[in-house]
């Protein structure tokens, strides 16, 4: 009898009705895992206290994994890049971009080069890129792949495989910087904020790697929520969530992103990203 009672309570613990009480979110793994866990565990605490519901952050191993978790309702909220947000919303009817960082409305990428290439900062992409080795971030990264590739194609009218002698994908911006700095690749494309943070942390040796070009601005990182959260957590929950994110003003939380604050966002803000992704075949 005691075993049956135990099994009953185990089944109850993992029943959908109880699991639904935990609001779960994730984020694209654009940085090293330790920093991500530190950043988003604090955000989970903030959301839990502000929304008066249990909130949990779960890490994922790749950008596509973040999109898949969102699509299958394993997470209800995600901190996406521009491209992953577009991908997730196309696969999840009713999903909405709700909030972005102040800096995310005018985001940019840096093209960086190993010192041996002897390229300096330029107002345009230099012809000298031809024949070099090139490292992007994740294949689904807006700032580490999509927009850099878009501008490469715009300038040279060729795909990266035709421009460079070798093209690689590091998986995240920190790794891109490290591999270009080591000389494993001659060129790279990175999120400008990760570069600035790693520079401030003393992880970049300016004698070994430098910025050679900066893209024009574009919309990037943002919070996207599933369209069915009101049905699960009550009418108006999505609006409350949006406001709680907009009200996030703790300097420690903001510094962890890093962002100076958050502003409203909507799906229309990412039409340029969607158009660019379609142009180079990333939404097929």
The residue extents of the domains of the chain are 2-105+219-279, 108-214
| Confidence category of residue 279, pLDDT binned at 50, 70, 90 | confident
Residues 213-238 have a mean pLDDT of 95
Taking only the tens place, the pLDDT of each residue in 243-252 is: 999 999 999 8
Nearest by Cα to 187 from 202, 209, 216, 171: 209
**pLDDT at residue 31 is higher than 80:** no
Statement: residue 12 has pLDDT above 70 = no
pLDDT in tens, 96-110: 999 999 999 999 999
The per-residue pLDDT of the chain, averaged, comes to: 90
* Helix, strand counts (H, E) of the chain: 13, 11
Helices (H), the chain: 2-13, 16-19, 33-51, 63-71, 82-91, 147-156, 160-163, 173-182, 192-200, 229-233, 237-246, 251-256, 271-279
pLDDT (tens digit, 9 = 90+) per residue, 202-223? 999 999 999 999 999 999 999 9
Q: At 284, is the pLDDT very low, low, confident or very high (cuts 50, 70, 90)?
A: low
What pTM, to 2 d.p., does this model score?
Answer: 0.78
Please report the pLDDT score of residue 146 as a whole number.
93
Q: What is the CATH number of domain 2-105+219-279?
A: 3.40.190.10
Q: What is the assigned CATH class of domain 108-214?
A: alpha beta
How large is the angle between the packed helices 271-279 and 147-156, nearest 10 degrees? 60
Determine the average pLDDT of the residues in 67-96. Answer: 96
Q: What is the DSSP letter of 269?
A: G
Once rounded to an integer, what is the mean pLDDT over residues 21-40? 84
In terms of C-beta density within 10 A (0-12 exposed, 13-18 middle, 19 or more buried), how is residue 50 classed? middle
């Amino acid at each position: 009898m005691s075993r049956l009672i135990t099994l009953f309570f185990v089944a109850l613990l993992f029943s959908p009705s109880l699991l639904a009480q935990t609001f779960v979110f994730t984020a694209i793994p654009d940085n090293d895992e330790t920093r991500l866990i530190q950043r988003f565990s604090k955000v989970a605490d903030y959301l839990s206290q502000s929304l008066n519901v249990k909130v949990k952050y779960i890490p994922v191993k790749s950008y596509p994994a973040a999109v898949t978790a969102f699509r299958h309702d394993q997470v209800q909220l995600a901190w996406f890049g521009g491209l992953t947000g577009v991908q997730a919303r196309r696969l999840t009817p009713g999903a909405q971009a709700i909030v972005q960082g102040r800096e995310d409305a005018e985001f940019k990428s840096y093209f960086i080069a190993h010192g041996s290439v002897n390229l300096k900062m330029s107002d345009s992409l230099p012809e000298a890129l031809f024949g070099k080795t090139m490292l992007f971030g994740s294949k689904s990264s807006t700032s580490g792949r999509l927009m850099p590739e878009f501008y490469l194609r715009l300038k040279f009218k060729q795909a990266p495989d035709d421009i460079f002698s070798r093209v690689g994908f590091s998986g995240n911006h920190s790794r891109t910087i490290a591999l270009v700095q080591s000389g494993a690749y001659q060129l790279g494309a990175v999120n400008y904020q990760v570069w600035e943070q790693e520079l401030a942390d003393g992880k970049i040796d300016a004698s070994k790697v430098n910025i050679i070009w900066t893209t024009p601005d574009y919309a990037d990182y943002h919070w996207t929520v599933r369209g069915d959260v009101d049905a699960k957590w009550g009418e108006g929950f999505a609006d409350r969530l949006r406001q709680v994110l907009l009200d996030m003003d703790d300097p420690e939380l903001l510094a962890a992103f890093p962002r100076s604050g958050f502003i409203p966002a909507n799906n229309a803000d990412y039409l340029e990203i969607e158009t660019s992704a379609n142009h180079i075949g990333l939404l097929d």
